[in-house]
Structure 1
């Protein structure tokens, strides 16, 4: 069996902000009824957190759960444990209408950090990033120029981005161009 590799082999760029591919991450698409007690219990057991509120990400001992839609979560776990977590979820949700799929190898992950991170994201995603509008723990599905993606901001003001692996090079180049030192707009300065 071949060794798993990330989409960009840890590529990084430093400019107005640091853009870096963060490597392999375990990701599970989980669909079901958020109001169902067995669904809530399965998420809590697998990740260690409650089902997040709309447009939020919640963190637990074993990973995170991000709100994708009224019946879909993106679970973030250790890459090597994704298959086991899917099996655990399927066992816990037997008899419940659900879908749990390991999508780790179909995704790429990036981080944008530093003083200009907010400006870099604002240049390419149609999301209001003004102070008080997009805080730590907020999560959005959106477009980054021509491609679909999702992102959240953590407590350290780092933006984390997930996109399809097939557009990883485009995403990296887009973010790097937006972070070019000569492209400063200064909206969030």
Structure 2
């Protein structure tokens, strides 16, 4: 079996915040009836956390479940465990309307870290989503766009965000984030 390779081989940039490609990340798309007890249990068994509410992400250690739409979630787990996670979900949900697919190698994950106001500012330069602290907090997920491409954003903490995009546009997203984080590009919108 070949070793997993990330889209940008761990590329990073330091400006007003730090942008880093996070490396290989296991990701499973799960679709089904949010109210189905079997689906909730299967997801919990694979991820080790309860299903999040609307626009939420529930995380513990290296595992998480992110709300993506009323009938879709993204399960995050170690890359090497993604195939096993899909098999577990399919077995547990046999006979139940669902979809479980390993999308790990179709996505790229970035970590954006730094001073909270600068971090929000960098993301807000690129996304039409309202990223004001009153509207977007830790443990929330937003599906949005970064310039011309779809992306998902969540805050791990006030000073750390994660960004997921398609692997095919990883270089573009890295460049966007790097330009938005260029030294001297501060606009001060989120400064208190």
TM-score by length of 1: 0.96
Of 150, 162, 168, 2:164 maps to 162
Q: Does 1:57 align with 2:39?
A: no
Equivalent residue, structure 1, for 2:39: 39
How many aligned positions are there?
A: 189
**1:132 Cα offset (Å):** 2.0
CA contact (8 A) 1:108 1:164 kept: yes
Secondary structure of 1:44's counterpart equals helix
Equivalent residue, structure 1, for 2:6: 6
Q: Does 1:90 align with 2:90?
A: yes
Supply the distance in 2 between the matched residues of 1:49 and 1:5 (Cα, whole angstroms).
27
Equivalent residue, structure 2, for 1:69: 69
Equivalent residue, structure 2, for 1:127: 129
Unpaired runs of 5+ in structure 1? none
Supply the distance in 2 between the matched residues of 1:167 and 1:98 (Cα, whole angstroms).
28
Supply the distance in 1 between the matched residues of 2:132 and 2:24 (Cα, whole angstroms).
30
Supply the distance in 1 between the matched residues of 2:158 and 2:188 (Cα, whole angstroms).
20
Q: CA RMSD in A?
A: 1.2
**1:46 Cα offset (Å):** 1.0
CA contact (8 A) 1:49 1:58 kept: yes
Equivalent residue, structure 2, for 1:176: 178
Deviations 1:24-55 (A, max 9, x none): 00000000111001011111111111111010
